[in-house]
Amino acid sequence: MEIDPHTLQQILQRIHQQMRCPQCGKRVPVDFSSVRVVADSAMILQLKCDLCDAYIVLHASLNGVEHAGAQPYNEDITANASTSLELSKDELSMLRKGLSESGGSFEELFVKYGASGSSAS
């Protein structure tokens, strides 16, 4: 199953709203770097509680995702480029590494790598 980035973000937000640490009860951060495997009908995430450092492996069912939200993508001049982002395997690996180092936050990723990129121009 292919999931567009907007639908994936909606899924992660729903998991974040419901997910609490089984040991201490605190809300557990959920972001793109938490996703380990996406299959046809399920997703596996590895989460870590910030308070008690417990690791959590979560198996999330993707049944019904096809009705979850994002409309089929039709490219036009106003289209969001992230919807049809195409990267090589090396670029994707570098993006995943950067997101992992930034705790899954694009904002922190841009702060970390954007400053050096803008000074080089």
pLDDT digits (tens, 9 = 90+) for 17-58: 988 998 999 999 998 888 888 887 888 999 999 999 999 999
pTM: 0.51
Pair type for strands 35-38 and 42-48: antiparallel
pLDDT in tens, 62-117: 877 665 554 555 555 555 555 555 667 777 788 788 888 888 777 777 777 765 44
**Domain extents in the chain:** 1-72, 86-121
**pLDDT at residue 79, rounded to an integer:** 56
**pLDDT at residue 71, rounded to an integer:** 53
> Which of 99, 103, 100, 97 has the alpha carbon at shortest distance from 28?
103
Q: Which residue has the tokens 């993006």?
A: 95
**pLDDT at residue 118, rounded to an integer:** 44
Report how far residue 60's alpha carbon sits from residue 55's, in angstroms, rounded to the nearest whole number. Answer: 16
**pLDDT at residue 65, rounded to an integer:** 64
CB atoms within 10 A of CB 84: 11
CA atoms within 13 A on the CB side of 70: 16
Yes or no: say if 47 and 19 are a contact pair by the CB < 8 Å rule.
Answer: yes
**pLDDT at residue 85, rounded to an integer:** 57
Read off the tokens for 121: 């121009």
pLDDT band at residue 119 under the 50/70/90 scheme? very low
**pLDDT at residue 120, rounded to an integer:** 39
